[in-house]
Structure 1
Amino acid sequence: MPGHRTKGFCASAAALALCAVLTGCGGSGESAGGGKVVLRYTWWGNPDRAARTEQAVALFEKQHPNVRVQTSFSGYDAYKQKLAIQATGGDAPDVMQLDYRQIDQYASGHVLLDLGRVEDTLRTEEIDAGLLATGRVNGRQYAVPQGRGTETVVYDTKAWKASGVPLPTKSWTWTQWADDMRELAAKTGKPGGTDPGQSEDAFEVWLRGQGKALYTKDSRLGFTADDLTKWWTFTDRLRRAGAVSPAEQTTQLDGSVENTPLGRGKATADFNWDAPSSGYLALVPTGVALAPMPSGEDGTPGQYFKPSMFLGVGAHTSHPEEAAALVDFLLNDDGAAKILGATRGIPVNETIRERTPSRLKDFDKTVSDFQASLEGTLKDPPQAPPSGDNALQTTFQRDYDQVSYERMSPREAAEDYVTEAKAELRS
């Protein structure tokens, strides 16, 4: 799940160069020598997720000797842009990992296969009906959840403890979080955490803690310029005080843990999703821990469980049955589950999920225990956002950059964003 971003790939020359590289990979569903079917499978994630995925794919190929799977992965932002180029060119992968925010866009754009066509191959009966429904658009199943995840405050355990600042509690509020960031900065001489002003995900959690939402059920904005001004004023003051990371650090975020202030040793804490936070372990060898997202001042939680990511099949694949078999394997095969662990969140197959806690270890167990600690305390997830939100994430980040570089006030940037958002959602 994404939590960060970068500025890259804006120039048309860069996009064209990337497109040239991608189209050199061959068409979707090509055939290899010896009569094997070749499937392209792409995802975003960290090196830990990649290593496990490669192991799982090797097991799939062993069980399906007539199929060879070409794999590729990248950080979330690069992946999102790469997939957009592929989709626009009619060259979408056979099997692709998808975010909540991409489903409506790609289903409506005829990029995704209606999975009803392969329902005999792709089994979904052991997935919670409510969770499964999040992959539907206009009553058709276009994507299947692959895991369940939630946002978290991930922090350098040793550094936080050494600072003397009390560790996060289960019921802390945004005000308490801000106080801790200030105190950590004073004790450690570096920002307490990453500036969350650039993150639409963090803003959504904050909004939900106020009893509001990003979008209404009819796909309009669920908040006002006043709400966004309040959020950006809150984060702007923290950044000016040195309590959270400066602009030159947050504008380097690209969805990878390696380029976060926490990953670079320039902050004590960060906002991220639970499963991808395993990537910090290679960068913070003394260990990291997970804490709940801050709640509203009256204790209203903004955090929620959501499908950590989805799997979809390309609408134009030449091999829909083999592609569906790969999706089915990744979701329902016990051998694949043992390999993948919780790297994409807690498994959605209910039988496998029941077996999961006893077989987890290390950070996978940390994620499982973290989710278990939140059971029964969070509100229901929102519906999948409208397709316009995919573009609005970039707009959100761009407008906050103007605030963090002090080129616009929080009010000016918020009004600019709301104006653009309304226009985008009407289009």
Structure 2
Amino acid sequence: MTIQSSATRRRHRTVAATAALGALLAVSACAGGTSVGEAPGGDEVVDGQGEVTGSARLAWWGAGQRNEVTNAVADMFEEEHEGVTIEREFADFGAYFQRLNVQGTSGNLPCLTQMQGRQLNDYTSRNLFLPLDPMIESGAIDVSDIPEEVLDTGRGTDGNLYVVPYGAAYDALVVNETLVEQAGSEMLPEGYTWEDLQSWAMEMQPNLPEGVSALSLSGGRPNFLISYMAAKGETLFKDGKLGFSEEALAEYWTMWEEMRKAGATATPAQMSEQPEQPEQSYVSRGVTVADTAPGNSIINSQATLDGLGNGQTLTSLPLPAGEAGPGNVLFTSGFAIPVNCDNVPTAAAFIDFWANDDEAAAVFASSNGAVTNSRHLEAQLENPELPELRKHDLELYQQIAESEPPTVVYPPGYQATFEESYTRAYERVSFGEVSIEQAVSEFFTEVNAGLGATG
């Protein structure tokens, strides 16, 4: 039996919530007539122009400090628009999407719905969101300071823009500089490749302290695979199916198995026990030298290391490059406007305010990914009080954004179908339950049957 990590259990909960959306929405779509949330006539163009007044519901996921700054920005918008009320709803990530699933089926989505690209097309495939391109063309929403590659992460499979991204996340390679130096190795060079990473880890491993691995075993992490395929120039998804080849996936898993069998990674059993929080990961505790993690997690990871009192320091690098160039892709969060919204002008004005107001950006301070507005990013980087690791995080995002990263448009069913299946498939390989060839074949069959399914 495959041991199930806490991270995998968390994915199961999130995937279950996302899968419920497909099931609930399929009922409404397959029942005949107009889909839930579909605009009258289906082709109505909404340009966002009109009086900014009345109330609009705002929904987001988060807790603690993120809630405080989100509320602060909403307060600022209300102060600027006398008589306007922003009604607020928030929950943690899993509960947030569970609630959206119910609201989506009843045509009751908040006028300002926070969304990520990985879930977006579960909603656009049901005509639940308004295209925002007409609102940009009319001037209701200004996106001139958001790089095109970043803006495009808010597009659906039909090419329309449904989300204006305000925060951009990326994955980095977090590296323990102290352990690298103690092992007598050099840091990975700029523009390093996946082959460089493999050689670096295997050559460093014999010189590391007992119980320390060069890398975590990350062959089952979806974001790492996406980076690998992007660096190879492979298409991630095409026509609602997997766009890369079975041979490319087999090659990728073979690389990880070579490192695992050479002892250069943590073991499968160790990975099953790793806490789900990045700040408690093995690289955060000096148990592995390097691991992939959200770029902004380095701040909390360093705090964990500092608490151990071993004097070790972390840094972060872009993910490996390949023949097609840099491998990083961006994962953005932003706001969408549902077709059931009865106050589109106010919703559009709020998105415009969030994206462009200098004081609001300073208050929110990249609390959900690096700010996507380039002017605001520069202002934050120039802040002399910005902590050094936070500055490093934002500068690395800026470097990745300027490299024109590939845009990944996730098909409907991605979260419910792809991530859990992928992690489970590689776990079976790493525990020796199936061959790479069998796991690849079964993964493609399973995922291609589920991706793009809309009922």
Structure 1 residue 352 and structure 2 residue 376: aligned? yes
> Which among 195, 200, 215 is matched to residue 193 of structure 1?
215
Q: What SS is found at the alignment partner of 1:213?
A: coil
Larger radius of gyration, structure 1 or 2? 2
The correspondence of residues 251-266 of structure 1 with structure 2, limited to 5 A, is 251=272, 256-266=277-287
> For residues 192-232 of structure 1, what are the alpha-carbon distances to aligned partners after superposition, in whole Å with 9 as ceiling and x for unaligned?
3332211222112222333323224x444332222212212
- How far apart are residue 57 of structure 1 and its match? 4.3
- Is this contact kept in 2: 1:209–1:300, CA < 8 A? yes
Instruction: Report the Cα distance in structure 1 between the residues aligned to 2:197 and 2:382, rounded to whole angstroms.
Output: 33
Q: Which amino acid aligns with 2:365?
A: G
Range with bigger deviation, 352-361 or 387-396: 352-361
1:420 is matched with 446
Q: Which amino acid aligns with 1:411?
A: E
> Which among 239, 243, 268 is matched to residue 289 of structure 2?
268
Q: What SS is found at the alignment partner of 2:335?
A: strand
1:7 is matched with 9
- Is this contact kept in 2: 1:151–1:273, CA < 8 A? yes
Per the alignment, do residues 214 and 338 of structure 1 end up closer, same or farther by CA in structure 2, a change over 3 Å counting?
Answer: same
Q: Which amino acid aligns with 2:198?
A: A
RMSD: 3.8
Q: What SS is found at the alignment partner of 2:353?
A: helix
1:180 is matched with 200
Q: What SS is found at the alignment partner of 1:283?
A: helix
Per the alignment, do residues 48 and 238 of structure 1 end up closer, same or farther by CA in structure 2, a change over 3 Å counting?
Answer: farther
The correspondence of residues 27-426 of structure 1 with structure 2, limited to 5 A, is 37=55, 39-43=57-61, 49=66, 52-60=69-77, 62-63=79-80, 66-72=84-90, 74=92, 83-84=100-101, 87=104, 92-115=109-132, 121-129=140-148, 131-137=150-156, 138-182=158-202, 183-184=204-205, 186-188=207-209, 189-216=211-238, 218-251=239-272, 256-285=277-306, 287-296=313-322, 300-306=324-330, 308-359=332-383, 361-362=386-387, 363-373=389-399, 378=403, 380-390=405-415, 391-425=417-451
Instruction: Report the Cα distance in structure 2 between the residues aligned to 1:135 and 1:128, rounded to whole angstroms.
Output: 12
Instruction: Report the Cα distance in structure 1 between the residues aligned to 2:107 and 2:116, rounded to whole angstroms.
Output: 19
Instruction: Report the Cα distance in structure 2 between the residues aligned to 1:372 and 1:330, rounded to whole angstroms.
Output: 20
Q: Which amino acid aligns with 1:334?
A: D
- Is this contact kept in 2: 1:311–1:327, CA < 8 A? yes
What is the number of residues matched between the two proteins? 401
Range with bigger deviation, 231-240 or 127-136: 127-136
> For residues 163-218 of structure 1, what are the alpha-carbon distances to aligned partners after superposition, in whole Å with 9 as ceiling and x for unaligned?
433222213222332233342575132223332211222112222333323224x4
Q: Which amino acid aligns with 1:200?
A: P
Q: Which amino acid aligns with 1:123?
A: D
Give the alignment's TM-score, normalised by structure 1. Answer: 0.77
Per the alignment, do residues 178 and 140 of structure 1 end up closer, same or farther by CA in structure 2, a change over 3 Å counting?
Answer: closer
Instruction: Report the Cα distance in structure 2 between the residues aligned to 1:89 and 1:259, rounded to whole angstroms.
Output: 39
Range with bigger deviation, 197-206 or 353-362: 353-362
Instruction: Report the Cα distance in structure 2 between the residues aligned to 1:354 and 1:168, rounded to whole angstroms.
Output: 27
- Is this contact kept in 1: 2:284–2:302, CA < 8 A? no
Instruction: Report the Cα distance in structure 2 between the residues aligned to 1:186 and 1:135, rounded to whole angstroms.
Output: 45
Per the alignment, do residues 173 and 277 of structure 1 end up closer, same or farther by CA in structure 2, a change over 3 Å counting?
Answer: same
Percent identity among equivalent residues?
22
Q: Which amino acid aligns with 1:419?
A: T
- How far apart are residue 54 of structure 1 and its match? 5.0
- How far apart are residue 351 of structure 1 and its match? 3.6
Instruction: Report the Cα distance in structure 2 between the residues aligned to 1:255 and 1:99, rounded to whole angstroms.
Output: 20
Range with bigger deviation, 196-205 or 230-239: 230-239
- How far apart are residue 414 of structure 1 and its match? 0.8
Per the alignment, do residues 82 and 389 of structure 1 end up closer, same or farther by CA in structure 2, a change over 3 Å counting?
Answer: same
- Is this contact kept in 1: 2:280–2:301, CA < 8 A? no
Instruction: Report the Cα distance in structure 2 between the residues aligned to 1:271 and 1:129, rounded to whole angstroms.
Output: 26
Q: Which amino acid aligns with 2:9?
A: K
- Is this contact kept in 2: 1:43–1:96, CA < 8 A? no
Instruction: Report the Cα distance in structure 1 between the residues aligned to 2:222 and 2:438, rounded to whole angstroms.
Output: 17
Q: Which amino acid aligns with 1:7?
A: R
- Is this contact kept in 1: 2:192–2:321, CA < 8 A? yes
For structure 2, list consecutive stretches of 5 or more residues without a partner in the other structure. 1-5, 22-52, 307-311
Per the alignment, do residues 198 and 81 of structure 1 end up closer, same or farther by CA in structure 2, a change over 3 Å counting?
Answer: farther
